[in-house]
Amino acid sequence: MYTYLVRAQILQRFRKGASAKLIARSALIFSSAFALMGYVIAYKECIMWLDAIILLPLMLLSIERIILRGKISFYIVCFSLAVITNYYFGYIIGLFSGLCVLGWILYSLYAKKRGVIKVIALYAFANIVSLLLTAFVIVPSFLSTLGIAKNSSHSYRPVYSAANVIVQLFQTNPGVNNTPLVFAGAVVVACVILFFVNSKIRLTDKMIVAAGLIFMFVSSWLDILYLVWHVMAWPNGYVQREAFLIPFVLCIIGFIGLVSILSAGKETRHRSAISAFFVFFIYQWDCYIGCGTQVCFYSNCLSHDNVCHCGIFSSKKNCGSSGLCSRDQSV
């Protein structure tokens, strides 16, 4: 992750004007946040999943090499390693890389850039080569699953309550009604807010990032898209296995937000920091002060697993008619 944040050409425009020391320190903060995210802690016993998390930033760097230099060897190595170490997670990060390339294609067509057809051809060829090289893993794995009953039913309905994911941004609470584990630290959330309130970042960039971020959350929320992430079968045991992609995206946005603010003028830094602190404080004040007084303000109390969570983003559920949170359950 550190290597990606420091070297990714797509981030070069946002790193412009920042000192090498600032970039290095910021990259260290967010790469550490990604490495210690709630997903890793909650699923730490699933060691075979960690390889895909390590390879994910390298996959994006390899896509840049295809787009900017027309070289596919690095992508073939990364994707092949991802499939060999765990074909299931190789599929997940392969799908994510495809979405990234699709996003680049749409943006290039909008900006009327050249070379789109060449990139599509190189990317398709690189994937074919990778699949052929890893056929000794894919074919036996596919054949072994033919006789296993799978549940692929869907009804275009939410997998979890959207309010729950806001709580997960500030803490790790596994097994809460299929909610993805997206916690990477409060600092990351604050810096993501800095990105969107920074007046120096173009509105177009904010809209593109917001659209991508919303899609990532929706794809984990709507059952049909959720099934696509899980090879069209409901996972058995560990849910939301693709959830590590969301903290990855959040850490990248947070990195851009922090570097852009610290390298901007004093007036921009102060205005953006105050705006981010105000938004962040409203949520935290409602969550902790509201529950501390034993009253869930706005009648928004979210209770699960005998734990009461309060906040303006939460919905009232199983808290009784009074909407009270007992002090020993407050979070």
Q: Which helix (H) or strand (E) holds 222?
A: none
Is the sign of the CA dihedral 173, 54, 210, 17 positive or negative?
A: positive
Domain residue extents for the chain: 2-264
Torsion on CA atoms 32, 37, 39, 41, rounded to nearest 10: 80
- Tell me how far apart the alpha carbons of residues 319 and 87 are, in angstroms, rounded to a whole number: 43
What interhelical angle do 245-262 and 20-35 show, nearest 10? 160
**pLDDT at residue 272, as a whole number:** 61
What lies within 8 Å, CB to CB, of 192 at 6+ separation is: 250, 253, 254, 257
SS3 319: coil
Q: According to the 3-state scheme, what is the secondary structure of 224-293? A: HHHHHHCCCCCCCCCCCCCCCHHHHHHHHHHHHHHHHHHCCCHHHHHHHHHHHHHHHHHHHHHHHHHHHC
CA distance 1 to 29: 10
Model pLDDT, residue 213: 93
pLDDT digit of tens for each residue in the chain (331 aa)? Answer: 999 999 999 898 888 888 889 899 999 999 999 999 989 988 888 888 889 999 999 999 999 999 999 999 999 999 999 999 999 999 999 999 999 999 999 989 888 888 899 999 999 999 999 999 999 999 998 888 777 777 777 788 888 888 888 888 877 776 567 888 899 988 898 889 889 888 888 898 999 999 999 999 999 999 899 999 988 888 877 888 899 999 999 999 999 998 988 877 666 666 666 666 666 665 555 454 444 433 333 333 343 343 444 443 443 344 443 333 433 333 3
pTM of the model: 0.82
Give the pLDDT score at 44: 83
Residue 236, pLDDT score: 79
C-alpha to C-alpha distances, 290 to 251, 297, 323, nearest whole angstrom: 29, 6, 11
H/E run at residue 303: strand 301-304
pLDDT of the residue at 175: 58
Whole-number Å distance between alpha carbons of 261 and 253: 12
Contacts of 308 (CB under 8 A, 6+ apart): 291, 296, 301, 302, 319, 325, 326, 329, 330, 331
pLDDT given at position 179: 87
Quick one: pLDDT at residue 214? 94
* pLDDT at residue number 82: 94
For residue 269, the model assigns a pLDDT of: 60
